[in-house]
Chain A
């Protein structure tokens, strides 16, 4: 079939799979592009190709949820795994790149952008040493690769995911010396009353919390790591109490532990770069993890026909992501004429109701875990905030003192954000150093947002449908 795709979904996690499932179910021709080797996103990631589960039932609840989600995806959806989207041109044309192949311009009438979220980087002395990894990174190793990152771990950060990761490390045979939560406990009578049967992560966290108690692993509230020590690899970590309101650490009360693994989980940041390249208006929402696209109740962004769903449009977890994806897919099908407005309304009702029922628990968790300004003080002057370009906290502060008001100005003065990660890692912590993260703005994403060889770009296929008003890739 030639001509533009009626719908292209970018991202094969819970939101993307759900969007493609609903749209294709309504009869819409649909392409699903995903960077990973197989569908599922970070939370429902599958074992690598030659691995097989001895007993799938023992792989846990997330594995079963992911399997169910994938099973519902109609076979008529064309899936391109292992394919990165490196640009979106004119808000409609998706530029794809797969390793060893040419780049390709894929014209689309509608888009669902479901690019997920990633761990918030929190710099402190020693944070770039081997052995320091994010909560998401630890889960990738444990769940997918089935490898322990080390032998003795300290887990630090905020939110119920910390307890989940600590429990998973413990079950994998890693000695967990402590869990440090910068905020307060989520397991109060009030929170539990509101979340009962409503919040999977909180429930999983509670289960692991009991495991940690049985194993004698302490959870210290209002504490954080303040330094990792080692020469070439982590051999120890220092932690200290933090102010309950600002999370500013009290370095005079540092205690040290010997560990070879330091897991850091300070929440997630939505991956909005493709939304920005598509021209979607964004707004800073502290409780959603940072910059998010503005959306209406049908998940449509400020660009008509471009939808955003899941954690990439505001961190709310996999359950919310599935329902947001469904709503986006249903509405895309409605816009294409595959569904009548009346039947689309009917189909949207259940997912909208479920999203509303998740809201109260989300509000409680967001209140506990939103990043406080004192997080910036986990770094000291010589700590690299931008690890790609080795720009220190002192250099960022000097730039701010010279008059830099936002991240763009800090970038021009220091090279912060100009490395391979394009500022995904350093922008959130650097924004805290600018004062208000909202006023600090964004480091503008530039295509290609993922590395691609010049050979792949030179052999780009299918440029014509959208080249008329664009200068990209000329």
Chain B
């Protein structure tokens, strides 16, 4: 969790999400992209503001922009679908 900068903010609840069938801890409200990067995984993100669609991934069976999708408990990214 060393990629999170915690000196200046208090985050919300720590929850579990599933990335390619592997459980990963993440914070409620942070973007899926931020959660992937913070866990040390490569994540495709170009514009970061929802315009380029370079970050589209499958979340709970739907193709959505990872940079615009907030983390919530139990969210499933990729994996068997």
Chain A residues near B (Cβ < 8 Å): 35, 37, 42, 47-55, 58-59, 118-119, 121, 128-134, 136-142, 145-150, 172-173, 232-233, 271, 387-388, 419-421, 424-425
| Contact, CB under 8 Å: A140 / B5 | no
Alpha-carbon distance A55/B47, docked complex (angstroms)? 29
| Contact, CB under 8 Å: B46 / A133 | yes
Known A121-B52, A233-B42, A388-B53; contact A52-B5, beta-carbon cutoff 8 A: no
The answer to whether the Cβ of B18 comes within 8 Å of any Cβ in the partner chain is no
- Extra contacts, 18 of them, besides A59-B8, A128-B54, A140-B67 (Cβ < 8 A), are A37-B70, A42-B49, A48-B29, A49-B12, A50-B29, A51-B30, A121-B46, A121-B47, A133-B45, A133-B48, A141-B37, A145-B31, A146-B6, A146-B9, A147-B3, A387-B54, A420-B56, A424-B52
B21 to chain A, nearest CB (A): 18
Q: Which of B4, B46, B47 has the most CB of A within 10 A?
A: B46
Chain B residues whose C-beta falls within 8 Å of the C-beta of A128 in the assembled complex: 44, 46, 54
Chain A residues whose C-beta falls within 8 Å of the C-beta of B27 in the assembled complex: 50-51
B interface size (C-beta, 8 A): 36
Chain A residues whose C-beta falls within 8 Å of the C-beta of B19 in the assembled complex: none
A164 to chain B, nearest CB (A): 15
Chain B residues whose C-beta falls within 8 Å of the C-beta of A147 in the assembled complex: 3-5, 30, 34, 37-38
Chain A residues whose C-beta falls within 8 Å of the C-beta of B54 in the assembled complex: 128, 387, 425
Alpha-carbon distance A173/B13, docked complex (angstroms)? 24
B25 to chain A, nearest CB (A): 13
Kindly report which residue of chain A lies nearest to residue B10, judged by CB atoms. A52
Chain B residues whose C-beta falls within 8 Å of the C-beta of A47 in the assembled complex: 9
Alpha-carbon distance A387/B56, docked complex (angstroms)? 12
A455 to chain B, nearest CB (A): 13
Chain A residues whose C-beta falls within 8 Å of the C-beta of B13 in the assembled complex: 50
Known A51-B29, A54-B10, A421-B53; contact A134-B37, beta-carbon cutoff 8 A: no
| Contact, CB under 8 Å: B8 / A140 | no
Q: State the majority secondary structure of interface residues on A.
A: loop
The answer to whether the Cβ of B51 comes within 8 Å of any Cβ in the partner chain is yes
Chain B residues whose C-beta falls within 8 Å of the C-beta of A233 in the assembled complex: 42
Q: Which of B7, B8, B13 has the most CB of A within 10 A?
A: B8
Q: Which of A49, A138, A142 has the most CB of B within 10 A?
A: A49
Alpha-carbon distance A130/B37, docked complex (angstroms)? 10
Chain B residues whose C-beta falls within 8 Å of the C-beta of A137 in the assembled complex: 45-49, 67
| Contact, CB under 8 Å: B48 / A425 | no
Kindly report which residue of chain B lies nearest to residue A148, judged by CB atoms. B3
Chain B residues whose C-beta falls within 8 Å of the C-beta of A138 in the assembled complex: 48
Kindly report which residue of chain B lies nearest to residue A135, judged by CB atoms. B48
Chain B residues whose C-beta falls within 8 Å of the C-beta of A232 in the assembled complex: 42
The residue from A139, A145, A387, A424 contacting B30, defined by CB atoms under 8 A apart: A145
| Contact, CB under 8 Å: A35 / B4 | no
Chain A residues whose C-beta falls within 8 Å of the C-beta of B9 in the assembled complex: 47, 51-54, 146
A41 to chain B, nearest CB (A): 10
Alpha-carbon distance A145/B6, docked complex (angstroms)? 10
Known A50-B29, A141-B37; contact A146-B53, beta-carbon cutoff 8 A: no
Alpha-carbon distance A141/B3, docked complex (angstroms)? 11
Known A136-B47, A147-B37, A232-B42; contact A142-B5, beta-carbon cutoff 8 A: yes
The residue from B12, B46, B50 contacting A134, defined by CB atoms under 8 A apart: B46
A59 to chain B, nearest CB (A): 6
The answer to whether the Cβ of B28 comes within 8 Å of any Cβ in the partner chain is yes
